[in-house]
Amino acid sequence: MIMVKNDDIYFKNLIYLIYILVILIIIYVVSILGYKAYSAWKLNDMRNMWKESRERIIETFLANKDIFDDLIKKMYSSQQDIIIEFSNGNIQLYVNGKEEKLDNEFYSLLNKLYSIINCESITLRKDSSGNKVLEIYLGSKNYDKKNVFEEYILYCKDKIEGITDEFSPGWYYKVSWYT
């Protein structure tokens, strides 16, 4: 009968344990690197999605600039807070929080605007600097269940703090990310 020393068994078990730990560490590192690569790909894909959307919006704006100019003429001179909401084929106008009736000319203009960019709301308000801003909210787009971006077209005669994407004089594109 061959006698095996206890030290040899412990040493072999220690070697096996080290092998298992090395394999687990490798699996962990690979999974972290894979997740980081996936996250980078996903972020890049989301950026491409909003860039394509931005380009489409700007092309639509430039092709229909006269409608946007008419909107500025009609709304921007007002000193009141104005909110226009589009829902279920209806257009609702609120001036200083009170619902008001749209005249036919303004209703027609808003219908044209809605038909070309399918916006959800238009707001005329003052920003934190006291500048008057016309904000066209284009809605939110879900990239997946956890990542959303919202798009806006803004008009302001003065520079808007924090917004730099000016695509036409006074007109800005803004996107907000939510994850």
pLDDT digits (tens, 9 = 90+) for 33-67: 888 888 788 778 877 887 888 899 899 999 999 99
Res 25: pLDDT: 93
Strands, E assignment, 23-179: 82-87, 90-95, 98-100, 121-126, 132-142, 148-155, 166-168, 171-178
Residue 18, pLDDT score: 93
Is pLDDT at 2 greater than 80 in this prediction?
Answer: no
Q: What is the pLDDT of residue 23?
A: 94
Give a yes or no: residue 47 inside a domain: no
Residue 66, pLDDT score: 92
Beta bridge partners of 134: 124, 155
- The structure tokens listed for 179 are 């994850």
- Contact predicate 141/151, CB 8 Å: yes
Higher pLDDT, 76 or 84: 84
The number of distinct structural domains making up the chain is: 1
On whether residue 119 sits in a domain, the answer given is yes
pLDDT at 98: 92
Does some domain include residue 41?
A: no
Q: Is residue 46 in some structural domain?
A: no
Confidence of residue 24 (pLDDT cuts 50, 70, 90): very high
Instruction: Check residue 53 and give its pLDDT.
Output: 85
The answer as to whether 20 is a domain residue is: no
Express each pLDDT in 104-115 by its tens digit: 999 999 989 988
pLDDT at 5: 62
Say whether pLDDT at 117 is over 60: yes
Q: What domain range includes position 116?
A: 52-178
Environment class of residue 144 by beta-carbon count within 10 Å: exposed (0-12), middle (13-18) or buried (19+)?
exposed
Give 21's strand partners.
Answer: none
| Least confident span in 8-17, 70-79, 82-91, 158-167 | 158-167
> Bridge-partner residues for 153, per DSSP?
136, 173
Q: Do the domain assignments include residue 18?
A: no
Residue 15 counted as domain residue: no
